[in-house]
Every structure is written in C-alpha cells, then in structure tokens.
Amino acid sequence: MKSGLWILFAVIVVAIIVGIALKNRVGPVEEADEIARLTEIDEIEDSEAKIAAYKVFIAESPESEFKPRAYSMISRELLRAVKDTARFVDFARETIETEDDAESKAYTYYYLYRVELETSVEAASLIGKELLEKPVEVGWIYNAIGYGFADRGEKLDLALAMCDKAIELADNRSDSASYIDSRGWVYYKKGMYEEAVTNLETSVALAEEPSEEVLQHLAYASLGAGDDDKAFDTFKRILVMGEYDYARASIDSLMDVRGYSAGEIAAFDRSLWDARLAAAQPAAAFDLPTLDGESYAFDPAGGTVVIINFLSPT
Amino acid sequence: MPQLEALYTKYSVEGVKVILVDASNRRELTQKMIDDVAVTMPVLLDDKEISDKDYEVQATPTTFIIDAGGRVIFKHIGYGEGMETMFEKEINLLLQQA
C-alpha cells in the first residue's frame, strides 16, 4: 500500500506516453509531427540539451496537447538526472506563475508535492493548501495528493478537502469512481467506517470494472463497520480476481469465526475456482514482430500457461 | 522486468511462456531498455494496436496471466513491490490445475 502513490504516478506518466504512442497511429499530421519531435528530444543524452529542447518545444507549440508532457519531462530530468532540487523548485514556481495550461500546472504541482514530501509531510501539505487556495481545474492532482495523505494516514482533514475538490472537478464516470474511492479511504483512515462504506460502495457501483484496490478498501471498511458478511463477500470477490494474500488471510479468519468445517472450506475453494474460470475471458491471438524483426505468433490454444506483460519504455 | 525474466527462467521448464509487448511500439527505446537488463524473453512490438483493441490496456505495465485453456485468469495493472510473488502464486495455481 505504501507504494500505491508511486504506482499511481507511474501509471499516470506511462498512460500519457502510451496515449501519445497510440495517437501516433491515428492522429493528424500536426500531432504526428509533435510526437516525432518529442520522441527525438527523449533520446537526447545530454540533460541540458534535452531540457533546452523541451523548452523550445513548449515555446513553439503553445497550444500542443503534449505540452504537459514536455513540462513533466523537464521536471523529471532536473530531479532524476541533474539532481538539482533547488533548480527544479525555481522552474516549478516559474511554471506555476506563468503557465496558463491547467494540466501543465497540475504536473508541475505534483512534482513539487513529491519533492516537498521528501522534506516533511508538513511541507507537502502546504502544496495541498496552496492548490485549494489557488485552484487548478484538474481533478487528478487533488485526488493524487488527497489519496497520498490518506494512505499515509496523515493530514486527513486536508485529504478530505482535496478529495471533495477532485470529485467536484471529475468530468467522467471513471474519474468520479476513482476520486470517491479516495474519499472513502480518507474516511476509513479517520475511523468513520459508515461514511467510508457509503463512499466505497458508490465507487464500486460507478466503476465499470472495480479494481482490486477499491474492493480492498471496501472490504476493510466493512470490517471496520462491523459488517462481516459484506466484508466476506468483498474479500471473496477479490479472490475471484486473484490469489491476494491479505484477502486469503481475511477470508480464512472470517471462515474461522463462522466455524467452517474442513469440508466447507474445501467447497468454498472449489466455488472460488469455478467463479474464477467463469469470470475469465478468452485471450486474443496475435502475431507481432520481435525486436529482431522476426514474426512471433501467440496462440491461446497452445495449451501452456502464458504471461503477457504490456509495457512502455520510459 | 528482471523479476519477469527470473520467472521465465524458473518456469520455462514447466512450459510457462513469458512475452513482453511494447504497447507503444517504439523500437529504439525498447531495445535500449532490453540492452540494459539482458532479457531473453521474446520482446514484441505492438504495431497492430492489439494492446488497445484486443487487450484493452489502459496503462502500462499491465500483466495478463493466461491458463492452458487460453483464458485470462489474472490481470494486473501497474507494478507494486512483491508483484512477482503474486504472479508466481498464480502460475503455481494454474500448474496445479493442469
């Protein structure tokens, strides 16, 4: 759970990169040209030259939808390659001051928040407060910071305000589901289990395909609220998704409380496996080139266990 | 990725396959990444948008575990510490079912 925020962030960054790559195939000429330029910049080895090139991109393409990515890459370069935090903070402050694009500001704020978090939670909370005082109309930044505090169990009132703001800004069902989950998790951390359950159930209902993480939140909140039956059903739902240790441990202890016999436990496991098979979708066959230019065909009827990992180099 | 390579090495004797697919179809960057970690698993470039169209990958990394019957038994988005233990557990479950 501690790494949740980093995962979220990695997913956000990579989603942009994949988004760009996917657009690459269908986008108009101008977009394709911008992507080509960004890809070229990505491959520049020298940090200073790379940062300068991103700045040129931003100046020359003020309307580009890829501008947030350019800002994001400058921040990353300053923090990870140049390793000059003070210079990053100057860059971030200047961006927040001068840039009008909300998404670009949101990314900059996020890096700033991460940097402040390394100093102290107190310092990071000031970034949250600043965002509430000078709103940026982007929901995910409020959600990311709100959820981050919730996960740490700190600054929970601020976290609640951040989540409320995120929910207010959500403009689609999937974002609403995600932000309401965060608010539910804040309530859970505050020990307000009824409110937690209400929010988390709303989130689960809104999501087309609730994630294991949201269900995990709901299961724990239900336990907190004393609703063991709901907790049991939710942990079972998680186990249908995968053999998660915490869900297995919780189910085991709930079965223990209920006085399950060995036979009942075995029957539960069989029903679980049946449910997993029933939920499993057929995998699609494909034929793709390898890095060496050979052709590689995947046939789901091959009769073997296969792990497919979709990745995106950064 | 080194963790997946370790799984591949460990379970290939059991017939388990591990396939990496660059969803963003960027040959140079992927090659560079592979060179850095010495990967022997097949690395494919998604030049047909199967990530998007057939597997509905919304963010990377996303990992699918497919059983011997060709069904997607497990899907995981993102990467967290200890995920390889989870993958291993799923593989073992599937090998037991076979």
The whole-angstrom distance between B75's CA and the closest CA on chain A is: 8
Homologous superfamily (CATH) for A4-222: Tetratricopeptide repeat domain (1.25.40.10)
The whole-angstrom distance between B88's CA and the closest CA on chain A is: 10
CA distance A276 to A270: 10
DSSP structural state of residue A253: H
- Residues from chain B contacting residue A211 (CB–CB below 8 Å): 77
Band (pLDDT 50/70/90 cuts) for residue A26 is very low
State the pairing for strand pair B62-66/B71-77.
antiparallel
Provide CB contacts within 8 A for A202, sequence distance 6+.
A180, A184
A281 touches chain B (CB under 8 A): yes
The whole-angstrom distance between A77's CA and the closest CA on chain B is: 17
Distances (CA, A) of B88 to A262, A267, A311: 26, 24, 19
CA distance A55 to A186: 38
State the pairing for strand pair A306-311/B62-66.
antiparallel
Task: Give the residue from B2, B75, B76 showing the smallest Cα distance to B34.
Answer: B2
Provide CB contacts within 8 A for A117, sequence distance 6+.
A123, A124, A148
Provide CB contacts within 8 A for A29, sequence distance 6+.
none
A59 touches chain B (CB under 8 A): no
Give the pLDDT score at A6: 45
ipTM field: 0.97
Provide CB contacts within 8 A for A11, sequence distance 6+.
B59, B77, B78
Give A65-93 pLDDT, tens digit per residue: 999 999 999 999 999 999 999 999 999 99
Provide CB contacts within 8 A for A98, sequence distance 6+.
none
A3 touches chain B (CB under 8 A): yes
The whole-angstrom distance between A306's CA and the closest CA on chain B is: 5
Cβ–Cβ under 8 Å, residues A126 and A133: no
Residue of A nearest to B63 (CA): A309
- Residues from chain A contacting residue B18 (CB–CB below 8 Å): 306-307, 309
The token pair at A180 is 């309401």
Q: Which tops the pLDDT comparison, B42 or B38? A: B42
CA distance A187 to A182: 9
CA distance A276 to A282: 13
Task: Tell me the mean pLDDT in the region B10-25.
Answer: 94
CA distance B26 to B22: 7
A272 touches chain B (CB under 8 A): no
DSSP structural state of residue A290: B
Give A192-232 pLDDT, tens digit per residue: 999 999 999 999 999 988 999 999 999 999 999 999 999 99
Please give the torsion angle defined by the CA atoms of residues A87, A159, A209 and A267, in that order, rounded to the nearest 10 degrees: 120
Class of domain B2-93: alpha beta
Chain A 201-260, CB below 8 Å of chain B: which residues? 211, 241-245
Give A124-136 pLDDT, tens digit per residue: 999 999 999 999 9
Each domain of chain A, given as residue ranges in start order, spans 4-222, 227-280
H or E element that contains A161: helix A156-169
Cβ–Cβ under 8 Å, residues A291 and A255: no
Chain A 151-210, CB below 8 Å of chain B: which residues? none
Closest by Cβ to B68, choosing from A21, A244, A305: A305
Closest by Cβ to B50, choosing from A277, A284, A311: A284
